Structure 1
């Protein structure tokens, strides 16, 4: 995958390198959705990680920083009345819903918009909690992360957190 190669070139050699498909299979069966390949590839390569001391990603195979647990808890939280009014759509894993997959220390939540139909692509949505603005980026997760690492405006900004260039710390 080209995006993963570019991400590795900017972020550095991944150390997690998860190869067991079983945790993804269980999570996908439970949620009734197949995650996009680029999201799985990045997560499998880097595992539970904090990027630029800002962006947190978890993995479904990790016993403590488990992506499935985080998604389940986040969906429940986002469906509460107060939180539900903030999002432009329903949090969840069904067609057209917003699947919470990551967060940032700067108060943003990163969602994957589940395709509403077979011809619709995945997209990345970012909810800013300080302004309550939601921005949908019509791009794959890999392209969104690559733009973030390059310092482009994808709602979550890396410039102040990584002035010397992108970096990551494993949380595994």
Structure 2
């Protein structure tokens, strides 16, 4: 299992270091789920960022333009549309087996966390390619998926061409 220290070793030291649980509590109450600990840890450390000029992560305490809650609400509406729903293997939402949109890429991919069927089961990552009906389920945690991405492995969102000198990030403005 990927560790936070492996991610920071590749991505660099975080500078956001959020510790107030209030935005997460509010978001989790609204959607009726608890986001995975590893996802929260990464987002709390880095905040609303773009990685390698490609992968967008947002924090729930972000301002209106870069708020995880606002993005999730909009993405749920988009993916619940009849024309879009057919591109996913499961409905979007917070029920077991459903897909919760949590990140996106400038190259057209949407990143979802698959809500576990059982509370003790692990979360998985699903990446949907917006320009095609293709999607890939990764039977790994968000941190393991992100670590694979940072190492340049093909996890549907691919950074090799965008980060030739190694992974980097910047705050969303």
The TM-score range, normalised by the shorter chain, is over 0.9
SS in 2 for 1:116: coil
Q: Please provide the CA RMSD for this pair.
A: 1.2
Report the count of equivalent residues.
172
Residue 66 of structure 1: aligned partner: 67
Query: Which residues in structure 2 correspond to 1:80-99 (within 5 Å)?
Result: 80-99=81-100
Measured against aligned partners, the alpha-carbon deviations of 1:129-157 in whole angstroms (never above 9, x if no partner) come to 12320100000000000000001111110
Distance, in Å, in 1 between the alignment partners of 2:139 and 2:155 is: 11
Residue 158 of structure 2: aligned partner: 157
Distance, in Å, in 2 between the alignment partners of 1:56 and 1:167 is: 12
Residue 32 of structure 1: aligned partner: 32
Deviation of residue 118 (structure 1)? 2.2
Measured against aligned partners, the alpha-carbon deviations of 1:75-104 in whole angstroms (never above 9, x if no partner) come to 011000100111111011111100000000
TM-score for the superposition, normalised by structure 2? 0.96
Deviation of residue 63 (structure 1)? 2.0
User: Which stretch of structure 1 is more off in the superposition, 51-60 or 2-11?
Assistant: 2-11
Contact 2:126-2:136 at 8 Å conserved across structures: yes
Deviation of residue 15 (structure 1)? 0.7
Distance, in Å, in 1 between the alignment partners of 2:35 and 2:163 is: 28
Residue 117 of structure 1: aligned partner: 118
Deviation of residue 62 (structure 1)? 1.2
Residue 22 of structure 2: aligned partner: 22
- 5+ residue gaps in structure 1? none
Deviation of residue 2 (structure 1)? 5.7
Contact 2:100-2:114 at 8 Å conserved across structures: yes
Residue 12 of structure 2: aligned partner: 12
TM-score for the superposition, normalised by structure 1? 0.97
Distance, in Å, in 2 between the alignment partners of 1:158 and 1:93 is: 29
Contact 2:108-2:129 at 8 Å conserved across structures: yes
Query: Which residues in structure 2 correspond to 1:116-155 (within 5 Å)?
Result: 116-155=117-156
